[in-house]
Structure 1
Amino acid sequence: MKILALSNLYPPDFIGGYELACADVVDALRDRGHDVRVLTAAPRLPVASPAHVLRRLKLIDEWSENGMGMSPFAFRRDEAESRLVSAYNVHALTTVLDEFQPDVVYVCAITGLGGFGLMACLQFLDIPWVWQLGDRVPHHLCSTRQRVIPGLAEAFSQHIRGHFIVVSDQLRREIEVGGIRLQGHVETIPNWITGTCGENRRDFYRGGHLRIMTAGQVARWKGTDVLIEAAARLRDAGHDDFSVHIYGKVHQPDLASMIHSLHLSNHVILQGVLPHALLLEAYRDYDLFAFPTLEREPFGLVPLEAVARGCVPIISRRCGIAEWLVHGVHCLKAERTPESFARVFAEVIERRIDLQPLARRGATAAWRDFHLDAILPRIERLLVRASSQAKGIAGSSHDAYRLARMAEQLTASLLEETIAA
């Protein structure tokens, strides 16, 4: 089967798990004999690009501090090109579609590319697609400044129809609560781990120094402040023999000041960014993986990586990964408060919770049910199903580009009128 993967970024140029997951699937599908090409943006810095990776798209880097225009009009123009339509990218997409003639398109993250226009182009050309939703991307494509525009949401709901993969039911609810309906076939498939199991872990907490870690973006939206305050409460309750190591890029520098002001420098340590391969090894050196993330976390892969290596996750009670792991069986869950996380830490230290059976059951489930080898056949079946449902009645690439140019020019005119008013 000929498959075109569509992603805003592609490793080694990436932001997080979404782009890495796309690369996982692409590599696995190629290993299974499929002819797969990737259409993605020109990299933000020079990177290697094998022949099957086509870096032809233009990216509006919403995630960079300098990625958007500074004036009100320039910002809104860039936001529209990022989310609504980029005629340049529609032209690049139709060119690759004409060259490659894929049976199906595997869509991943497309914010930053004029993603609404790209999906409308696929619909107009009657190109079958499967959209891997690891975040609320339809919400992004129908919104400006994070506010959903009702007319765009209705247009999306009426015209964008195909095969969707959502990584949690919570994510689907969040998208649809905003007034966006996912029309067509929707299947809930979790994110996955890769690699090999290796030797089973043998050392588990039996008292003494409790080793806690977390990894990811160091910011309040990921709960770093909750974890720091939980450490203070644990110490103030008389438990002093513990450490919390925080891995990742610091997005809010005042969190370091928070550690200092609470006199936690001997307990809570910012470890910086660790390469992913080394992070996977580091999990085995810790007893608990703390994940006090926001409730709207679509999935959350790092707790799954941790438990696969015998490090028991304690996660927010309501987040995407919480749908897939069972409290007291594979993991521990807590309310997203310092008090709740500190209470669970104390119960482990006081030996009221035995981590060994949790770690063993969690690791077994991770390697059996959440490895890409178990997940890929489900994605592959959806790709085959989608490819078989093309109607064969489609517009032309030239018409798609002309419509994209008209939409882009109309959007610019409307923005000018809005700013002037």
Structure 2
Amino acid sequence: MKILALSNLYPPDFVGGYELGCAHVVDALRDRGHDVRVLTAAPRLPVASPPHVLRRFKLTDEWNPNGMSKHPLGYRLDEAESRLVNAYNVHALTTVLDEFQPDAVYVCAVTGLGGFGLMACLQFLDIPWVWQLGDCVPRILCSTERRTFPMLAEEFTRRIRGTYIVVSERLRQETEECGLTLGDRVETIPYWITGPQEAERVDFYRGGHLRIMAAGQVAQFKGSDILIEAAARLRDAGHDDFSVHMYGNLYDHWLLELIRKRNLTDHVILKGVLPQKLLLETYKNYDLFAFPTLEREPFGLVPLEAVARGCVPIISRQCGIAEWLVHGLHCLKADRTPEAFARAFADVIEQRIDPEPIARRGAAAAWRDFHIDAIIPRIEQLLADAASREKGIAGSSHDAYRLARMAEQLTASLLQESIIA
């Protein structure tokens, strides 16, 4: 098959697991003999790009604190360009579609690109697509920071119809809570790990110093404050022989003060960002992986990476990956409170819980059921099914661009009128 992948960012330019996942699928499909091209945004910093990666989109960088205008009107215009329609990007898409003539499109994250307009363009041109949802992107495309627009959600439900992949039922539920419905086909497929299976771990916690790690943005929404408070409670309960190492960008700088305030500078250490390859090696040096993330976490790949290497994850009880891993069998689950996480740590220290059998079972399941080699045939089949469906009446690329220009100008006019009023 000829497959075009769409993503706002593409490694080595990426924010997190969503963009990495896109690259994993592209590489796996190419390894299986498919002709795959990637259409993504111009990188935020210069990066090397192989010939199959086309960096032609313009990105409105919602994830950069300085990426959006600070003026109310400018901010709303940027937001509309990011989520609703960017005629420049519609033109870039139609140009590549005309050049490449793909059998199907594999869609990933399109926030920052005028994602609603891109999906509407695919519908208008009757291009079959499979949309990998690693976050509630359709809901984002129908909303501003403040609220969801019911009319947009209704229009999305009516017009943006194809094949969706959701990484958890929690993600599907959150996506549809705003009043839109995903149609025509929705498949639940988990995220995955990649690479060759590593040698089975042989060293496990047997008492003494407990090594705990976390990875991801060091931020309140990821539960970093909960982990710090859990460390304080663990120490106050009389357990002093432990460490918590947190890897990732420091997003909320007040967490440094919280560490000092709780007198935890010897126990909680911020280790900064590690390249992905080094991070995968680092899991082997720890006994537990703490993941006190928000319950709305769509999936959470890092606990899966950790358990694949024998580091037992302790995860929020209701987050996305909790649907896929079983408490006491592949992981430990805890309520998203400092008390619950501290209690889980203490259970290991006091040997009420033996991490070794959990680590062994979790690693076996990760490499067997959650490796890209086990997942990619399902994604490949969905793309083939989409490509083989009966085609309808398609519009032209020229008309798609003209409509995008009209929508962009109308949106700008409406926003200016609303701000002035």
Smaller-chain TM-score range? over 0.9
What letter matches 2:52 in structure 1? Answer: H
Q: C-alpha separation between the residues in 1 aligned to 2:400 and 2:329?
A: 52
Deviations 1:95-117 (A, max 9, x none): 10000000000000000000000
Partner of 2:257: 257
Partner of 2:279: 279
SS of 1:76's equivalent in the other structure is helix
Deviations 1:170-226 (A, max 9, x none): 000001111110010000000000011221100101111100000000000000000
Q: C-alpha separation between the residues in 1 aligned to 2:120 and 2:390?
A: 15
What letter matches 1:93 in structure 2? Answer: L
Give the gaps of 5 or more residues in structure 1. none
Q: C-alpha separation between the residues in 1 aligned to 2:222 and 2:70?
A: 27
Partner of 1:115: 115
Partner of 2:268: 268
Partner of 2:64: 64
Q: C-alpha separation between the residues in 2 aligned to 1:390 and 1:263?
A: 65
What letter matches 1:236 in structure 2? Answer: D
Q: C-alpha separation between the residues in 1 aligned to 2:232 and 2:206?
A: 23
SS of 1:5's equivalent in the other structure is strand
Q: C-alpha separation between the residues in 1 aligned to 2:250 and 2:117?
A: 34
Is 1:346 the counterpart of 2:328? The answer is no
Partner of 2:328: 328
Partner of 1:83: 83
Moved more, 383-392 or 264-273: 383-392
CA contact under 8 A between 1:8 and 1:110: conserved in structure 2?
yes
CA-CA distance at 1:390 after TM superposition: 4.2
What letter matches 2:157 in structure 1? Answer: S
Partner of 2:374: 374
Partner of 1:196: 196
SS of 2:214's equivalent in the other structure is strand
The total of aligned residue pairs comes to 421
Q: C-alpha separation between the residues in 1 aligned to 2:68 and 2:238?
A: 49
Q: Percent identical across equivalent pairs?
A: 76
CA contact under 8 A between 1:128 and 1:390: conserved in structure 2?
no
CA-CA distance at 1:146 after TM superposition: 4.5
**TM, length-normalised to structure 2:** 0.99
Q: C-alpha separation between the residues in 2 aligned to 1:276 and 1:213?
A: 15
Q: CA RMSD in A?
A: 0.6
CA-CA distance at 1:169 after TM superposition: 0.3
Q: C-alpha separation between the residues in 2 aligned to 1:45 and 1:65?
A: 16
Q: C-alpha separation between the residues in 1 aligned to 2:390 and 2:354?
A: 53
Deviations 1:361-397 (A, max 9, x none): 0000000000000000000000000001141420000
Deviations 1:55-80 (A, max 9, x none): 11110001111111121111100100
**Structure 1 residue ranges, 4+ long, deviating more than 2 angstroms after superposition:** none
Q: C-alpha separation between the residues in 2 aligned to 1:243 and 1:12?
A: 31
What letter matches 1:239 in structure 2? Answer: H
Alignment map for 1:31-50 (pairs within 5 Å): 31-50=31-50
Q: C-alpha separation between the residues in 2 aligned to 1:402 and 1:152?
A: 20
CA contact under 8 A between 1:40 and 1:53: conserved in structure 2?
yes
Q: C-alpha separation between the residues in 2 aligned to 1:274 and 1:59?
A: 25
CA contact under 8 A between 1:61 and 1:68: conserved in structure 2?
yes
Closer, same or farther in 2 for the Cα pair 1:129/1:390, shift >3 Å?
A: farther
SS of 1:95's equivalent in the other structure is helix
Q: C-alpha separation between the residues in 1 aligned to 2:392 and 2:347?
A: 61
What letter matches 1:154 in structure 2? Answer: E
SS of 1:271's equivalent in the other structure is strand
Partner of 1:29: 29
Partner of 1:295: 295
Give the gaps of 5 or more residues in structure 2. none
What letter matches 2:342 in structure 1? Answer: A
Moved more, 111-120 or 193-202: 193-202
